[in-house]
């Protein structure tokens, strides 16, 4: 990545704040494009302004070509995080979900393509592009599901897994994923896609629909019950945001070599937790067990998903460094020290 300006769409959100802060700490010039519609992002933006007064804000939406055109001025690289991020919201408002996630991404690609020298772009997709994984046979233990297939247990789900979009959210993010990859093939844009698992860490305010690690911690800190949809044995690989930012910087440094490729990014088999196991860990950190309430399974909820990250590791040398217990403990301390326990979830 060259030394020019970087655009971070959704830059006042959880991941955007962490990426923008890392870039500016490294001396990069950053423009943030954000419509500031999500509750809690004003806290992140205030933190960025306090620590990095030089950050440039374009308040606007990726669905607005004018705002995108303004934000792209002088930009050499784009981190595209602006999105509607919840499966549940996509089920109730599928048109809005489509407008932001798919149409907004196409709008950004088209505005980038208008440039004499188009910027490179990294897009954050989702493991939901692989559907519910109903064909992956699992067995249940006392606290988690695990695949019957040994290859899945050892390595996780790889990028050669057939795409099977599930829920309007999966469709909109999956469609955007494919557009971003195709613009590398059809128009020569330098693009990379991260199909991400569960990311957590500082500046994540989280809610019941998205950002569940932070949401569980906040509920416990407020002595509120944690609702588990399904039986709580669902397993995910979790990745601390510091490791994610490292991966993103690796990808952008090698964007010419990696262009047009999608990578599964998460903690991998070494960094997994079930919902029940996370609740137990939170109980250890709080020195009291949270109250748990069970509810019905939700649409598209995978019983088990773990990212096979070997392809990206081979391409860049990156690998996660923050163990689950350490990362959750860090977030627990950050939430307490920043007095976010009573904040509205974003």
Catalytically active residues, by annotation: 169
**In whole angstroms, what is the distance from residue 83 CA to residue 326 CA?**
29
**In whole angstroms, what is the distance from residue 319 CA to residue 301 CA?**
26
**In whole angstroms, what is the distance from residue 341 CA to residue 346 CA?**
12
CB 60 within 8 A of CB 70: yes
**In whole angstroms, what is the distance from residue 113 CA to residue 107 CA?**
10
- C-alpha distances (whole Å) from 89 to each of 209, 224, 305 are 8, 23, 21
Closest CA to 229 of 292, 176, 298, 173: 298
For residue 76, what are the contacts with CB-CB under 8 A and spacing of at least 6?
1, 2, 4, 5, 6, 119, 120
**In whole angstroms, what is the distance from residue 296 CA to residue 298 CA?**
6
Continuous H helices in 188-299: 212-221, 241-253, 255-258, 275-286
First to last CA, the chain: 31
For the record, the structure tokens of 61 come out as 């939406």
| DSSP letter string, 309-346 | -HHHHHHH-------HHHHHHHHHHHHHHTT-TTSPP-
Closest CA to 143 of 334, 311, 281, 259: 281
The position carrying tokens 């860049």 is 316
CA 312 centroid distance within chain:
16
């Amino acid at each position: 990545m060259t030394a020019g300006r970087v655009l971070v769409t959704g830059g006042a959100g959880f991941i955007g704040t962490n990426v923008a802060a890392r870039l500016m700490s490294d001396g990069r010039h950053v423009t943030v494009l954000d419509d500031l519609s999500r509750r809690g992002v004003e806290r992140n933006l205030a933190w960025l302004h306090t620590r990095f007064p030089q950050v440039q804000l374009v308040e606007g939406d990726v669905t607005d070509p004018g705002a995108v055109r303004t934000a792209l001025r002088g930009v050499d690289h784009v981190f595209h995080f602006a999105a509607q991020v919840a499966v549940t919201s996509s089920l109730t408002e599928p048109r809005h979900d489509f407008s932001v996630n798919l149409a907004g991404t196409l709008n950004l690609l088209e505005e980038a393509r208008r440039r004499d020298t188009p910027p490179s772009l990294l897009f954050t997709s989702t493991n939901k592009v692989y559907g519910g994984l109903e064909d992956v046979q699992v067995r249940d233990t006392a606290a988690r599901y695990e695949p019957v297939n040994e290859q899945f247990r050892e390595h996780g789900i790889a990028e050669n897994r057939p795409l099977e979009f599930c829920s309007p959210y999966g469709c909109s993010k999956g469609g955007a994923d494919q557009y971003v990859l195709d613009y590398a093939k059809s128009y020569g844009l330098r693009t990379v896609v991260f199909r991400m698992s569960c990311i957590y860490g500082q500046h994540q305010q989280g809610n019941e629909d998205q950002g569940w690690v932070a949401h569980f911690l906040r509920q416990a800190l407020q002595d509120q019950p944690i609702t588990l949809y399904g039986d709580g044995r669902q397993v995910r690989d979790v990745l601390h945001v510091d490791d994610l930012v490292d991966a993103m910087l690796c990808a952008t440094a090698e964007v010419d070599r990696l262009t047009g490729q999608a990578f599964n990014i998460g903690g991998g088999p070494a960094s997994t937790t079930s919902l029940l196991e996370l609740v137990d860990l939170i109980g250890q950190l709080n020195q009291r067990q949270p109250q748990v309430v069970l509810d019905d399974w939700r649409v598209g909820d995978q019983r088990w998903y773990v990212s096979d990250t070997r392809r990206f590791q081979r391409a860049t040398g990156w690998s996660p460094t923050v163990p689950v217990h350490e990362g959750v403990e860090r977030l627990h301390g950050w939430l307490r020290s920043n007095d976010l326990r009573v904040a509205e979830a974003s």
